[in-house]
Amino acid sequence: MKMKLIYLAMIPMILMASCAAPEEENPFFSEFNTPFGVPPFEEITNAHFVPAIEEGIMLREAEIDAIVNSPEAPTFENTILALEYSGRMLYRVLPVFYNYNSSLTSPELQEIAQEMAPKLSAHSDNISLNPELFARVQAVYEQKDQLGLNDEQMRLLTETHKGFVRSGAALPEDKQERLREINQQLSTLTLQFGQNVLGETNSWKMVVEDEAELAGLPQSAIAGAAERAEDEGLEGKWVFTLHNPSVMPFLYNAENRALREKMQQAYINRGNMGNEFDNNEIIGKIVNLRIERAQLMGYDSHADFILEETMVKNVPTVMDFITQLWDAGLAIAKEEAQTMQGLIDQQGHDFQLAQWDWRYYAEQVRKELYDIDEEEIRQYFELNTVRSGIFMISEKLWGLQFIERMDVPKYHRDVQVFEVLEADGSHIGILYMDFHPRESKRGGAWMSAYRSQRIERDGRFIHPVITIVCNFSPPSGGQPSLLTYDEMTTYFHEFGHALHGLLSNVTYPSLAGTSVPRDFVELPSQIMENWANEPEVMKTFAKHYETGEPMPQELMDRLVASSQFNQGFSTVEFLASAFLDMEYHTLTEAFPEDQLKEVASIIDQRTIENIGLIPEIHFRHGSTHFGHIFSGGYSAGYYSYIWSGLLDADAYEAFRETGDFFDQATARSFRKNILERGGTKDAMEMYIDFRGREPEIEPLLRQRGLVR
């Protein structure tokens, strides 16, 4: 539902404050008087959120009452546009509220978020299930062909009407009441799921006391672990955590097999350790509620309900697509496993390759085949140098300029802030970038908005304020932040999302930026990764952090040659989670109450058996920490990343076909038809407008090395 009703219902991402604040001191009670109208972060305290949200709800309810009680006949202006532009105060506070919960949270704020989640859910339902309001929307919708609307106005009208219907507005009263109950329960459960994953990630640690047990680890990982130990009063020891910059170097490099197993098992069992962060029962409840809600709405399953609004449209299309890739990927993964088992045997070990061995032996095979050392590669991907490369690419493609601003408020001292300009110097928007892990930040990487682009009813163009948040390797041991190859490509990925938000050029806020189907939203992000991997492009930003010398051509050639290495593993690991997602969300029968704690293990095992997942590989995201589908908005949509891979590989072919990776005509077309359009048109139509045809799968298969 691409309207602000769903924006208010994004409860899994909320954050709340602990006490009231006087209205005259609350920065959310008026327009922000800051450079570029960004949130006045230095003035915002925990005390401001609750009164601002409560006031915003009250004001919006008054606006809805005014629409409903208007004596005038329903029109596009007095109903659809009045609804679209309602809730200004909530538009100020909720983006800060949501983003803080993801990147600057605390236990007290999480506790209040749990308390407030049902209230925001109820507010959303009070709008979407308001019979008088829906009657007016329906009246305008029935006249749509006689109103002389332009394409974007028609899109807003049809999406608004569809949003009401998909929110239950057409249901009988008794079913609406049950729908409200389900929505409120889900708002709390999904929020708790995410908080548990963060809590588990922050609480678990592995303390190493014997330096001999660090054998194989790069010096940067050892230094980082020593610094963490010192911060915790454990001088002379080393502390490893479940944050990715700690986990992954350990699994790839540690010679101590027992410790690799300990780390791997803890990593894949987040939310499944039988403590206060256990997510098993929560999963059972979420699954049952989603089944019930879908069937209330007239669908067989949650997946049927969700996929109706995507590019793929239905379950069979998803399953056919991921099965086709699975068959190709699994065959290659089995070959990779045999290669690593051969290496284990060759080294005289008497054990079978296990999940905690895969990354370690894959890294050894990669070094043997390509002479690639991740630690050596990192020397050429210093964070700020990579950033400069991304800026350069954006300038070559679209003429964009990036000016660091030191006069703009920041929510954390580590954040970097840039003004984004057109080639002619005109303002586009503000970009925040927040790079490193901390306990107040959830894991992973994402893009969000503090303010989306829109045009006000008085004609003013409102420029976006965008943020990207990551968990990259921090500076350590006297070195700056040196990115792994995966972190470097992740930076490009999230920056592509940022461009989607920054370059939005639409009228209505609910259609702006990334307000597109889940299986289309990853296209702008994933296509950026292609430039990251072009040798001619990489040499412009891959420079040694000490000498400034570019990466040697011979090393770059080996790095590019290794890009398809271990793709069987990567494809299978990802697709296993995509199948797991679909296994949950194609269910049509709820589990008995006494089985709720067992749902995750049942579905995990069922998925493993159905797809033939080999024991040497685990799900990229196991059930109890699968935040994408249980707290992050990707339920029945995790396949979207690889579907968008289909789109990005095919779209990048358009540049390849010109013989110029920076072809200006192709870049202009991508900006005009994809980046600027938001959700103003059907996603497939937008893609065809750019490419001239529907996407083809062959470029994806070649990109992943899945064709022999």
Sign of CA dihedral 293, 299, 302, 307: negative
Burial of 501 (C-beta count, 10 Å sphere; 0-12/13-18/19+): buried
Burial of 444 (C-beta count, 10 Å sphere; 0-12/13-18/19+): middle
Decide: helix, strand or coil at residue 135. helix
Which of the residues 336, 494, 583, 653 is marked catalytic?
494
Are the C-beta atoms of residues 673 and 505 closer than 8 Å to each other?
Answer: no
Can you spell out the DSSP letters for 32-64? --SGGG---GGG--GGGHHHHHHHHHHHHHHHH
Q: How far is CA 574 from CA 139, 225, 623, 696, in A?
A: 45, 29, 13, 21
Q: Which residues pair with 207 in a beta bridge?
A: 239
Question: Is-catalytic flag, 363?
Answer: no
Strand 446-451 relative to strand 465-469, pairing: antiparallel
Task: Please name the helix (run of DSSP H) or strand (run of DSSP E) that holds residue 280, with its range, or none.
Answer: helix 280-296
Decide: helix, strand or coil at residue 638. coil
Q: Which residues pair with 34 in a beta bridge?
A: none
The DSSP output letter for 564 is G
The DSSP output letter for 426 is -
Structure-token pair, residue 254: 């540690």
CB half-sphere exposure, 199, CA atoms < 13 A: 20
Structure-token pair, residue 571: 């494809």
List CB contacts of 662: < 8 A, sequence separation 6 or more.
393, 396, 397, 655
The DSSP output letter for 550 is B
Are the C-beta atoms of residues 322 and 579 closer than 8 Å to each other?
Answer: yes
List CB contacts of 124: < 8 A, sequence separation 6 or more.
5, 6, 8, 9, 183
Q: What are phi and psi of 134, to 5 degrees?
A: -65, -35
Closest CA to 412 of 469, 465, 452: 469
Helices 599-611, 567-585: crossing angle, 10 deg rounding:
130
Structure-token pair, residue 133: 């309001």
Decide: helix, strand or coil at residue 680. coil
Cα-to-chain-centroid distance, residue 185:
23
Task: Please name the helix (run of DSSP H) or strand (run of DSSP E) that holds residue 518, with its range, or none.
Answer: helix 518-521
In whole angstroms, give the CA distance from residue 49 to residue 55.
10
Can you spell out the DSSP letters for 64-116? HHHHHT-SSPP-IIIIIIHHHT--HHHHHHHHHHHHHHHHS--HHHHHHHHHH
Burial of 592 (C-beta count, 10 Å sphere; 0-12/13-18/19+): exposed
List CB contacts of 334: < 8 A, sequence separation 6 or more.
568, 614
In whole angstroms, give the CA distance from residue 128 to residue 349.
63
Q: Which residues pair with 447 in a beta bridge?
A: 468
Burial of 215 (C-beta count, 10 Å sphere; 0-12/13-18/19+): exposed
By annotation, the residues acting in catalysis are 494
